[in-house]
Amino acid sequence: MESQIRKFAANTVSMSVEKIKTEEKSLNFLEEIVEEDLASGKYKSIVTRFPPEPNGYLHIGHAKSICLNFGLALKYGGKTNLRFDDTNPVKEDVEYVDSIKEDVKWLGFEWSQELYASDYFDQLYAFAVDLIKKGLAYVDDSTPEEIAAQKGTPTEPGKGNEFRNRSIEENLDLFAKMKAGEFPDGAKVLRAKIDLASPNMHMRDPLMYRIKHAHHHRTGDAWCIYPMYDFAHGQSDSIEHVTHSICTLEFIPHRELYDWFIDKLEIFPSHQYEFSRLNMTYTVMSKRKLLQLVEEKMVDGWNDPRMPTIAGFRRRGYTPESIRLFCDKIGVQKRENLIDLSLLEFCVREDLNRNAVRRMAVLDPVKLVITNYPEGQVEELIGENNPEAEDGGGTRSIPFSKELWIEREDFMEEPPKKFFRLGVGLTVRLKYAYIVKCTGFKKDDAGDVTEVYAEYIPESRSGHDTSGINVKGTIHWVSVQNALTAEVRLYDRLFKVENPSNEEGDFKEYINPDSLQVLPIVFIEPALAEAVPGAPYQFLRKGYFCLDENSSSDKLIFNRTVGLKDTWAKEVKKG
Ligand code: ATP
Ligand code: MG
């Protein structure tokens, strides 16, 4: 199964852009359900919700859920609520609420209402009282261990205890006292009275409320009892008249209970549907694990560009379009799968190739001296900003002079046969500028090349070339006297194994020690002084980059979003 999906991802990557663009996608199973429900008149319009727990930053898995929930409502003219599932006071925080709102907006979606499960605490309490009055819920004084033991096993029915037969009056009284704060944490719970022999363990008198004397980020100290997920989620859906409540596969066994509560409470019949969560190679995707990386300072916060969080991708230079494209491509399945990270990288390249402004930067510099170029002369050459854009994206001027920085790897002392760059006697075109012929080089005592010499052909200027000379290679460069400097941060996968959560021991042992490489001094063309955060740049031949949020005019910092090609695919082929 796993390999199938990997193959699927690989196939998708190798499909041509045109094919992907024009490919008719058949309806996914949720779209089929919604179309049926609308056609049969079951609903006039649909309501979905995205229900994050504000206990961490959103990750790319959440993006899948967001695209799905908002996407369905957009496609079928319905609406989507953003509902914070904030029923657990201990782990939740306003910082997370704010970041979640920012991320959903950044992805390009607008919610119909911003809602909080904690706003329903009164209503949920009333629902619980209703079930007690119907003889369908009771207060249990057992310890968690006793409850677990009495629950039985999947093959053995559970056993009831003395509390199960409490009278309705006693239950009402005790539940009111629980709410009033008369008992310590864990002293009592409220349970639904369903079926201790049910083959579904979730139906064996599940917990509805627990006592927790804890401060809540919205309700303060108003409550010391908090509803469990199963007694909050479906009811919140129902209160909001959510028609299609979409969640991930692990909630399949909860569906029976979801339906039972709604049925017994006789409230709006929301329905739960499950799809498989997104898992991606070389990544961990649980907030709990991501929080560990943050707290143990293994990354630079939730928005470290190596994190699979939306905030991390944003800082790294991913665009909302690329993430939406990715979510669209992976589609919606009912079976667990593992998606290749390279598919996401493919999607971001797609978008950036079309939209990134082209600039030149020399990451690993060596000096090229053009010996026949007049000393002190500076020519302002013209370069198109984006050859992929219809109008070329405008132009910028690029200063050219006698001394240039070029990439060290673009010169070789003893070039092999098909090396179409510089080596003594070889010719190459300097992008936007002239053809040059390499005439020599200089080395230091350590044997490292310090300068390369060349002569330029004055009549070969790009756009005005009358030289008649054909060259096979073009290299980028930056004029030494005009260059700006910047720090460049190159990122690699955060983990060195495909599925760190599946490995033995702690997932943190599998962190890739080379996931961040800092180049302190990189020479960049002067037009990059105007770089703005959030705008994508292609550094010619070097990849896509964006300005880091900590960049300043005194110290420019660029993050590499992704390389121009999938270098990992090559490595796999090499074996
Ligand atoms: P995590 O396990 O990472 O903490 P969660 O499911 O506890 O995730 P929630 O805040 O409860 O996080 O999730 C909000 C919504 O996003 C839920 O509907 C959940 O099903 C969905 N979601 C979470 N992780 C993924 C994922 N990897 N793929 C798809 N949807 C996901
Ligand atoms: Mg959760």
Nearest ligand atom owner, CA of 51: 1
If asked whether residues 105 and 169 sit together in one domain, one would say no
pLDDT recorded at residue 422: 97
452 CB near ligand 1 (under 6 Å): no
- Helices 60-75 and 320-330: angle between axes, nearest 10 degrees: 80
If asked whether residues 320 and 384 sit together in one domain, one would say no
pLDDT recorded at residue 567: 65
Ligand 1, closest atom to CA 285? 3
248 CB near ligand 1 (under 6 Å): yes
Nearest ligand atom owner, CA of 61: 1
For residue 278, what are the contacts with CB-CB under 8 A and spacing of at least 6? 60, 61, 64, 285, 330, 339
Residue 355 in any domain: the answer is no
pLDDT recorded at residue 26: 86
283 CB near ligand 1 (under 6 Å): no
Nearest ligand atom owner, CA of 53: 1
Residue 192 in any domain: the answer is yes
Nearest ligand atom owner, CA of 62: 1
* Final residue before a domain boundary, out of 176, 198, 227: 227
Q: Among 59, 248, 292, 341, say which to mutate for ligand 1: greatest number of ligand atoms within 8 Å of CB.
A: 248
Residue 509, CB-side half-sphere exposure with 13 Å CA sphere: 6
The reply to whether 53 belongs to the active site is: yes
308 CB near ligand 1 (under 6 Å): no
* Final residue before a domain boundary, out of 449, 476, 503: 476
CA distances from 226 to 137, 176, 327 (A): 16, 13, 34
247 CB near ligand 1 (under 6 Å): yes
In angstroms, what is the C-alpha Rg of the chain? Answer: 31
Residue 556 in any domain: the answer is no
What percentage of residues in the chain have a pLDDT greater than 70?
94
Q: What's the 276 CA to ligand 2 centre distance in angstroms?
A: 14
pLDDT at 10 over 70: no
pLDDT band at 17 (very low <50, low <70, confident <90, very high): very low
If asked whether residues 305 and 330 sit together in one domain, one would say yes
pLDDT recorded at residue 12: 38
543 CB near ligand 1 (under 6 Å): no
pLDDT recorded at residue 390: 85
Ligand 1, closest atom to CA 246? 18
Between CA 466 and CA 563 the distance in angstroms is 35
Mean pLDDT of the chain: 93
If asked whether residues 102 and 148 sit together in one domain, one would say no
Binding-site residues for L-glutamine, in ranges, read 85, 229
If asked whether residues 336 and 397 sit together in one domain, one would say no
CATH code of the domain in which 216 resides: 3.90.800.10
Ligand 1, closest atom to CA 51? 14
Q: Is 395 exposed, middle or buried (0-12, 13-18, 19+ CB in 10 A)?
A: middle
Contact (Cβ atoms closer than 8 angstroms) between residue 537 and residue 352 = no
Ligand 1, closest atom to CA 290? 3
| Protein residue closest via CA to atom 26 of ligand 1 | 61
Q: What's the 277 CA to ligand 1 centre distance in angstroms?
A: 8
Near ion ligand 2, which residues have CB within 5 Å? 53
CA distances from 564 to 347, 421, 571 (A): 12, 19, 15
Q: What's the 51 CA to ligand 2 centre distance in angstroms?
A: 9
Between CA 480 and CA 369 the distance in angstroms is 10
pLDDT digits (tens, 9 = 90+) for 58-107: 999 999 999 999 999 999 999 999 999 999 988 778 899 999 999 999 99
If asked whether residues 51 and 147 sit together in one domain, one would say no
CATH code of the domain in which 103 resides: 3.40.50.620
Over residues 396-418, the mean pLDDT reads: 97
If asked whether residues 97 and 240 sit together in one domain, one would say yes
Residue 485 in any domain: the answer is no
* Final residue before a domain boundary, out of 414, 441, 476: 476
Q: What's the 53 CA to ligand 2 centre distance in angstroms?
A: 6
pLDDT recorded at residue 566: 76
Over residues 154-174, the mean pLDDT reads: 96
198 CB near ligand 1 (under 6 Å): no
62 CB near ligand 1 (under 6 Å): yes
In total, the chain counts a number of residues equal to: 575
pLDDT at 477 over 60: yes
Ligand 1, closest atom to CA 69? 18
Domain residues for the domain of 325 are 2-117+234-349
pLDDT recorded at residue 24: 64
The tokens for 72 are 């369905």
Ligand 1, closest atom to CA 53? 10
CATH code of the domain in which 413 resides: 2.40.240.10
What percentage of residues in the chain have a pLDDT greater than 90?
90
Over residues 332-356, the mean pLDDT reads: 93
The reply to whether 287 belongs to the active site is: yes
315 CB near ligand 1 (under 6 Å): no
pLDDT recorded at residue 336: 86
Catalytic residue among 6, 179, 193, 287: 287
Residue 96 in any domain: the answer is yes
If asked whether residues 220 and 241 sit together in one domain, one would say no
Q: What's the 2 CA to ligand 1 centre distance in angstroms?
A: 20
pLDDT digits (tens, 9 = 90+) for 288-312: 999 999 999 999 999 999 999 999 9
285 CB near ligand 1 (under 6 Å): yes
If asked whether residues 380 and 472 sit together in one domain, one would say yes
Over residues 26-49, the mean pLDDT reads: 96
Single pTM value for the model: 0.92
Q: Is 248 exposed, middle or buried (0-12, 13-18, 19+ CB in 10 A)?
A: middle
pLDDT at 9 over 90: no
Over residues 344-359, the mean pLDDT reads: 96
The reply to whether 354 belongs to the active site is: no
Residue 568 in any domain: the answer is no
Q: Among 5, 65, 280, say which to mutate for ligand 1: greatest number of ligand atoms within 8 Å of CB.
A: 65
Over residues 519-534, the mean pLDDT reads: 96
If asked whether residues 338 and 378 sit together in one domain, one would say no
Question: What number of other Cβ atoms are within 10 A of residue 448's Cβ?
Answer: 10
If asked whether residues 281 and 386 sit together in one domain, one would say no
Over residues 341-360, the mean pLDDT reads: 96
131 CB near ligand 1 (under 6 Å): no
Residue 187 in any domain: the answer is yes
pLDDT at 570 over 60: no
Q: What's the 252 CA to ligand 2 centre distance in angstroms?
A: 14
| Protein residue closest via CA to atom 22 of ligand 1 | 62
Pairing of strands 395-400, 435-443: unpaired
pLDDT band at 569 (very low <50, low <70, confident <90, very high): low
55 CB near ligand 1 (under 6 Å): no
Residue 128 in any domain: the answer is yes
pLDDT recorded at residue 391: 84
pLDDT digits (tens, 9 = 90+) for 356-387: 999 999 999 999 999 999 999 999 999 999 99
Catalytic residue among 2, 31, 53, 384: 53
pLDDT digits (tens, 9 = 90+) for 203-214: 999 999 999 999
If asked whether residues 290 and 326 sit together in one domain, one would say yes
| Protein residue closest via CA to atom 25 of ligand 1 | 61
Question: What number of other Cβ atoms are within 10 A of residue 276's Cβ?
Answer: 17
Catalytic residue among 277, 306, 324, 461: 277
The total domain count for the chain is 3
Beta strand extents in 287-420 (DSSP E only): 357-359, 361-362, 365-370, 379-384, 395-400, 403-407
